[in-house]
Structure 1
C-alpha cells in the first residue's frame, strides 16, 4: 500500500512539474530585398517599407529639454525660441550628414558655440530627441 501511495505521489509530482515546463518557439520570416508590406509567421508580425512614419517634430519639448540640459547662465537659457529652434535645426542638418556629435557647431543668437561644449551638447541632445525627423 505504501508503494502505491508513493507511486501515486510521484506521478502527481511529475504531472505538476510538467505544467511548469516552458516551451521555446522559433519563428522565421523571410523577406526578399525590395519587398514591402506586412508579413506574419505564427505570433510574430513585421511591417516592412513605406508603412512606417517619422516621429513628429515637437518644438516645445525641444526648447524645454535644451534649456534644462544647458549649463546655468548659458546663451541657450536666454536665447529666443526662434534662435534656439534655428540652432536645433542646424544640429539636425549636421546629424543627417553624419557629423560626429563632438564636431557639431551651431550659432545661437549670433554667438558661435564651440563644438563639443556643454551648450552644443544640450542642443544636439534635445534636437535628436524631439526635433530631427
Structure 2
C-alpha cells in the first residue's frame, strides 16, 4: 500500500469524526498544500539522514505535488530519511536541481546531510530525489 494513502485516510477519518463536510475537507486540504510548496521553514533546517521529521500530503496537480507523490512512492522502506517532511523533500529537490544545473548527473547529487554512499559510490536517496526532481520540478 502506498505510504501516502495511510496518512491521507487517517486525516479523512479524523475529519469525518469531527463532523466536517466535504467542503470543509477541501478547504483544509488546500490550506495544507500551500506550506508544502513554500520555502523550508528556518526551524526545520537541512534534510538530515539521522533526524528527519514531518509527514506527506502532496498534491499531484502541481509539479511540487507530483514530485512529493513520486518520491514517496520510490523511497524504500529502509530509506535514510523515513520521516522527511514535504518541506524538507522539496528543499532537497531544489538543491538537486541546482547541482544538476551546475553539471552534476542526477545519480551523483548529494542533498541529505549525513547520507552515506552505497558500495557503488552513490548516495542512493539523494540520487532518487535528483531523478524525480529532474522529471517533475527542475527547470
TM-score (norm 1): 0.49
TM-score (norm 2): 0.47
Q: Point out the structure with the larger strand share.
A: 1
Q: Which has the larger radius of gyration?
A: 1
